[in-house]
A and B are shown apart, each in its own frame.
Chain A
């Protein structure tokens, strides 16, 4: 139990004052005048002058706004003087989550989602378990964790990049540029550049950032593990807008590894052994940019990332042959020679 006389009021820590203020304004039916707030909410000091309390209140209101809690200012009557004055309250409709009634199947589906995806460690999903728990409890239900059989599991293993993921997420949401050092594929030394991040995505165990590159101009894609964020996180000076026609969905939709990159496009033709042709189609048969010819068991594609294309092809060993273009065919043969040398 806490009594007003337990400790001097000036010593009441700010978090306690802010909490007291929030629940006080939330419970008010009628907006509270400043005089009422200062005399009733623990943490303000009614013995201090009105102006210094008022300054503290203005700061508190700003802090709460930063925490997504909006205090409404409305006219009210000062009960002491009867005069009209500014009053404050928090609207419960803004503050609380609406009641949602879920079916048993929905509670189970949500619980699965929270239990399985919330622990993947992917930074943007960090709040998922809370979101699920809150949603379920808003209808007075408890989550059904542990009481179901899991038949589909998603495991992203997003590696050590979560601090960088968060920094990029912040930069995107605040529309502030990043200064980065980027180590392009095949190079050891990184080059510094400014990037305005438009989007962030996870593919095949790797995070990628899409954004405007101030070194090269235009939208570019960067693999997160190849970049370092320089000088803290956000560029102090550069604010940007994401172009209205930018769509991450369009940008990352259905792309093969050889389509992520900035090399000169090369039209590539590959012939497969019968045991591998359907495997290639299993993997990329849904892409509009790829075509398959059943009779000749060939696949045609356009590559802007030769290393990724070679990686994919190498996995087939003698099951796939790069037919054209000739320079790529020669480079691929050289890679095979190098592998043989390494193994020798």
Chain B
């Protein structure tokens, strides 16, 4: 992809903005690690060190050491800051962009159904500068990132509260590989909205392992009242990043080729696995545990998605399409 815009030259206003941002965030960052602060500030570590140096040259008249900002990095690569007496001890007002981010995130996280979050966001709104709040509200009207819940609202409610309370669920679940609905007890560890769908992560007592269930394939879910113990150290984000796809893509190597609009979809779906071919198509290789589970996904991409291998998957896709076609004879 061509770069959209040439990198702009850094102006003194940009530098001032970053230095002021850093100054205004001093109370919030003292003791944080340098790479993390740099990432959040949108600068490189080198630039951050330069900003800290700039800031250390500034302060109040008569510009004696006690009247200057004191920003330094300790041996553990953590940033520390001290400001001249009384100055910037509180964070500066939320900027319009920060207010906007909070409003949008609050809306997006409404699915998490946390009353404490709603009250915290209300307090922040009340503390915001009215003009900035107004600007953020206006900008938020033009932006939407909230995940869709569709007809799943009641189900997601049951699952998220069971998960928060560590209560087992009795779940009726449709397994495409068996083509039928089965009933099982699940210990729900959490809910993940992953790009375009809601997933339930939990220990399946029927299979004796941690499984990922698609919420839209749950016919019904009921809290049993029986408590369970979450495995110590289980972290949903770590699971999503390191385990989730590993778990479902295990033994059978699959190669798909995508053309046209589906190639963009494939790049978004498998950003690390998608390889561009010379003819503009995109190839993806992964491992599946059951070929039957991915037939629907492949079909839904239409003729722009082709199975390269294994041949059994080609056959499965062809026979599923033939079965569907028989309805139209």
Q: Which residues of A contact B116 (CB under 8 A)?
A: 103, 105-106, 108-109
Say if the beta carbon of B286 comes within 8 Å of chain A: no
Q: List 16 A-B contacts (CB under 8 A).
A: A2-B68, A13-B54, A96-B91, A96-B93, A109-B116, A126-B101, A127-B97, A153-B192, A159-B268, A169-B139, A198-B142, A201-B143, A279-B174, A285-B151, A337-B325, A343-B314
Question: By the criterion CB–CB under 8 Å, are B151 and A282 in contact?
Answer: yes
Q: B178 CB to closest chain A CB, in angstroms?
A: 10
Known A-B contacts A94-B129, A155-B192; the reply to A150 vs B28 at CB < 8 A is no
Say if the beta carbon of A239 comes within 8 Å of chain B: no
A residues adjacent to B (C-beta < 8 A): 1-4, 13-16, 18-20, 22-24, 26-27, 40-42, 63, 66-69, 94-103, 105-110, 112-113, 116-118, 122, 124-138, 149-157, 159-160, 163-164, 167, 169, 172-173, 185-186, 197-206, 225, 229, 232-233, 242, 247-249, 252, 254, 275, 278-279, 281-286, 307, 310-312, 314-318, 321, 329-330, 332-333, 335-340, 342-344
Q: How far is the CA of A130 from the CA of B102 in the complex (A)?
A: 10
Q: Which residues of B contact A317 (CB under 8 A)?
A: 295-296, 299, 320-321, 323-324
Q: Which residues of A contact B109 (CB under 8 A)?
A: 113, 117, 152, 154
Q: How far is the CA of A308 from the CA of B89 in the complex (A)?
A: 54
Question: By the criterion CB–CB under 8 Å, are A282 and B155 in contact?
Answer: yes
Q: How far is the CA of A326 from the CA of B295 in the complex (A)?
A: 26
Known A-B contacts A286-B151, A343-B317; the reply to A135 vs B325 at CB < 8 A is no
B 135-153 contacts with A by CB, 8 A: 139, 141-145, 147-153
Q: How far is the CA of A150 from the CA of B238 in the complex (A)?
A: 11
Known A-B contacts A27-B86, A252-B144, A317-B296; the reply to A126 vs B303 at CB < 8 A is no
Q: Which residues of A contact B92 (CB under 8 A)?
A: 95-97, 134
Q: How far is the CA of A336 from the CA of B230 in the complex (A)?
A: 45
A-B pair count, CB < 8 Å, reads 388
Known A-B contacts A67-B16, A134-B98, A340-B325; the reply to A109 vs B40 at CB < 8 A is no
Question: By the criterion CB–CB under 8 Å, are A152 and B191 in contact?
Answer: yes
Q: Which residues of A contact B117 (CB under 8 A)?
A: 106, 109-110, 112-113
Number of interface residues of B (CB under 8 A): 138
Q: How far is the CA of A154 from the CA of B192 in the complex (A)?
A: 6
Q: How far is the CA of A45 from the CA of B298 in the complex (A)?
A: 70
Stretch from B17-25, B71-79, B204-212 contacting the other chain: B17-25
Most buried by B among A109, A254, A317: A317
Known A-B contacts A151-B190, A200-B142, A317-B323; the reply to A15 vs B15 at CB < 8 A is yes
B residues adjacent to A (C-beta < 8 A): 1, 3-5, 12-13, 15-17, 19-20, 23-25, 27-29, 40-42, 54-55, 57-61, 63-65, 68, 84, 86-88, 90-102, 104-106, 108-109, 111-114, 116-117, 119-120, 123-124, 126-129, 132, 139, 141-145, 147-153, 155, 160, 163-164, 174, 179-181, 189-196, 215-219, 230, 234-237, 240, 260-261, 264, 267-269, 271, 295-297, 299-303, 306-307, 314-315, 317-318, 320-328
